[in-house]
Chain A
Amino acid sequence: MLSLRNVWIEYGEKVVLERISLDIAEGAFVSIIGPSGAGKSSLLRLILGQEAPSRGEILLDGQPLAPECGPDRGVVFQRYSVFPHMTVLDNTMFGLECAEAPFTARLFGARRRAARARAEAMLEAVGLGDSLNLYPAQMSGGMQQRLAIAQALIKQPRLLLLDEPFGALDPGIRADMHTLITGLWREFGLTIIMVTHDIKEAFSLGTRVLTLDKRRHDPHAPHRYGAGVIYDLALKKGAPIEQAEEREVVPLAGGITIDTKDNT
């Protein structure tokens, strides 16, 4: 469904990503992990269309991807994903209003009621059915992320991109969100690409885990080489994932180290 062909990102001399070639299948849940500065977020921005690759090409269903965000790709960022001046309901309806009312971006009468019903159903699905008239500033971080997910899903995107969506949440809420996103992924048949710092999260949610890191490192020119995909693991997932309770993260002895610092 989504193909990256020999994609590079370079900022002048600095190479961030090099030789990325990937094919992502419909219905996959791809987790991307890697140390800070390995270009995880750059890769996501690339797929989102916020950035254009300096070399190579990205194809969505065989068509080259325009370097501009569009409604075929939904996104949830770690922060600032919801509009602070709109209520929960307005935030969710915004996508529908944009599509149906090009000039006013607002719906009235029967069309508004129809959009409202769809938005309410979607908010019910993410567990915000009781909070329709709250503003984001009145909600916790977890509720805001639920809203951001509802907002994205109502547009039925081909691809849902998550940029450390649960990074700012505490462990209990995070476990709830894992259950939620897994449920939504199954129910809506989504294709998800998620960047995360949490290895356990990456493996428990994903059907495929990509690890980005630098293959080569020149200590005299640390920016000379960019990161590539060093591990690409497909996980077999027949049974539903059991991950209701959050256990202690087992510290990795040696091997790859993933830092947990804020990487925005």
Chain B
Amino acid sequence: MRWVNLTISRSTGLLLGALPLAALGLAYLLAAASRHAANPADKILPLPGAMAEAMGALLFDVDPLSGQILFWADLLASLQRLGLGLGIATFSTLLVGLVLGALPPVRATFGPLVTAIAVIPPIALLPILFIVFGLGETAKVALIVIGIAPYMIRDVAGHITALPREQIAKALTLGASSWQIVLRIALPQALPRLFEALRLSLGPAWVFLIAAEAIAADVGLGYRIFLVRRYLAMDVILPYVAVIALLAMLMDLLLTRASRRLFGWAHLASR
């Protein structure tokens, strides 16, 4: 059978998907083992035992300086910043994207502003945010919001603008007002797209979080990674990166599942 026609069953798919990951892990182990054979004190590619030991201290021991268990404090701080940033971005996207997409006068007035903000590299704004909001939490959350909201707004607004004109005409002939069209036609059709935009923004959101934490923070996953870099502590950096990757995958999965459950109609065509 030709490759384009092959269908992969769920179990085979899982197995096939696991293969490259397993190969990557094995390659790492082999490389680490060979480096340790040459130099038992090697820090660049730590063995799993060393990673477990280093992480154990961060996971279970109270740090005498701050009085906190470092890993959990880092995780909590980062997730709080990320959650606030994503939440504010999502909410403003819904509000702004909806009116921008559905109402031509609003689009004409504020569309160029959103575009202008969207083309600025957010990291270039970070110094301004630190100057304006200080070095506290606000600046970090603001960076995430400014980093992802304009993209999400443009995506959702574009999706609503692209709704067939026939649909709007039909709604008008059914007696709908502008408000009713926004509420019952534009909003429900924007929501699946919003979830999709949010899902695709998770990657950039993490980038902005880590960047903000690397520059000015005293706790957080990104802060820890950049702190222990000074000691070449790969045994901490690698597990932290793995945690970030796992969290990102988990959020991605949850959003996909939630969208399928909440907006079944939007996924009918692709089935």
With A85-B263, A137-B269 already in contact, the answer to whether A80 and B174 are too (CB < 8 A) is no
Partner of B166, one of A71, A73, A81, A99: A81
Interface hits, A67-126 → B, CB 8 Å: 68-71, 73-75, 77, 79-86, 94-95, 97-99, 102-106
B180–A102 touching, CB < 8 Å: yes
Asked if A223 is at the interface of the complex by the 8 Å CB criterion, the answer is no
With A77-B166, A105-B184, A135-B265 already in contact, the answer to whether A84 and B189 are too (CB < 8 A) is yes
CB-CB under 8 A from A79, the residues of chain B are: 164, 166
**Interchain nearest-CB distance for A153 vs B (Å):** 11
Partner of A135, one of B171, B179, B268: B268
CB-CB under 8 A from A74, the residues of chain B are: 173
CB-CB under 8 A from A77, the residues of chain B are: 166, 169-170
Number of A-B contacts (CB under 8 A): 89
Report the nearest A residue to B175, measured CB to CB.
A71
A95–B175 touching, CB < 8 Å: yes
Partner of A105, one of B164, B165, B167, B180: B180
A151–B263 touching, CB < 8 Å: no
CB-CB under 8 A from B170, the residues of chain A are: 75, 77, 80-83, 148, 151-152
Interface hits, B63-117 → A, CB 8 Å: none
**Interchain nearest-CB distance for B239 vs A (Å):** 43
Asked if A138 is at the interface of the complex by the 8 Å CB criterion, the answer is yes
Asked if A50 is at the interface of the complex by the 8 Å CB criterion, the answer is yes
**Interchain nearest-CB distance for A79 vs B (Å):** 7
A15 to B54, CA, bound (A): 79
Asked if B216 is at the interface of the complex by the 8 Å CB criterion, the answer is no
Report the nearest B residue to A160, measured CB to CB.
B173
Report the nearest B residue to A103, measured CB to CB.
B179
B173–A85 touching, CB < 8 Å: no
Report the nearest A residue to B180, measured CB to CB.
A105
CB-CB under 8 A from A104, the residues of chain B are: 183
CB-CB under 8 A from B183, the residues of chain A are: 104-105
Known: A83-B170, A84-B265, A152-B174. 6 other contacts (CB 8 A): A70-B173, A85-B188, A85-B265, A98-B174, A152-B170, A155-B174
Partner of A48, one of B173, B264, B265: B173
Partner of A99, one of B175, B184, B263: B175
28 contacts between A and B (CB under 8 A): A48-B169, A50-B165, A69-B173, A70-B172, A70-B173, A71-B175, A73-B173, A75-B169, A75-B170, A77-B169, A77-B170, A80-B164, A80-B170, A84-B265, A85-B188, A85-B265, A94-B171, A95-B174, A102-B180, A105-B176, A105-B179, A105-B184, A106-B184, A137-B268, A138-B268, A148-B170, A152-B174, A157-B173
Report the nearest A residue to B189, measured CB to CB.
A85
B180–A71 touching, CB < 8 Å: no
Asked if B207 is at the interface of the complex by the 8 Å CB criterion, the answer is no
7 A-B pairs with least C-beta separation: A69-B172, A71-B175, A95-B174, A80-B164, A137-B268, A80-B166, A105-B180
A68 to B175, CA, bound (A): 11
Report the nearest B residue to A84, measured CB to CB.
B265
**Interchain nearest-CB distance for A114 vs B (Å):** 17
With A80-B167, A102-B180, A135-B268 already in contact, the answer to whether A155 and B173 are too (CB < 8 A) is yes
With A77-B166, A137-B265 already in contact, the answer to whether A71 and B177 are too (CB < 8 A) is no
